[in-house]
Amino acid sequence: MKIDLSTKVSNLDGTPIPDADGKPTTLRSIFCNVLTTQQQGETISGVEKVKRYNLATRIYSSDEIDLGIDDIKLLRDLVADGYVPLVVGQVWNILDPPPDETPEEPSGKPPEESGMV
């Protein structure tokens, strides 16, 4: 799945969430942060640290990245452990978009007549 790493996360009112320097927080900064830090009490093997480091360097040096399922799962888990719900919700919706909740009506008939209900 291709991800635009310059995507900004925002407050509920749509204003960008500022980072420590006052610049808008991007997926790149969130991902690099969670990949290069260790949560309190978390034990990580050397192999896992190198894996995270390599992914962080790929993310840091890219504007867009194609992530595999394992990378997406890792980022989802790390973001969930390291950020507040406001950020987690936005990141998860980007990494794993929710399905469209509006059923299509291909026949042009109301759902009850098209057999969709």
pLDDT tens column, 11-28:
999 999 999 899 999 999
> Structure pTM?
0.81
> How many of the other CB atoms lie within 10 Å of CB of 28?
20
Q: Please, are residues 73 and 1 in contact by the beta-carbon 8 Å criterion?
A: no
pLDDT, averaged across the chain: 89
More confident residue, 93 or 105: 93
Distance CA(35)–CA(55), nearest Å, equals 8
Q: How confident is the model at residue 50 (pLDDT cuts 50, 70, 90)?
A: very high
Cβ(39)–Cβ(77) below 8 Å: no
Does the pLDDT at position 97 exceed 80?
yes
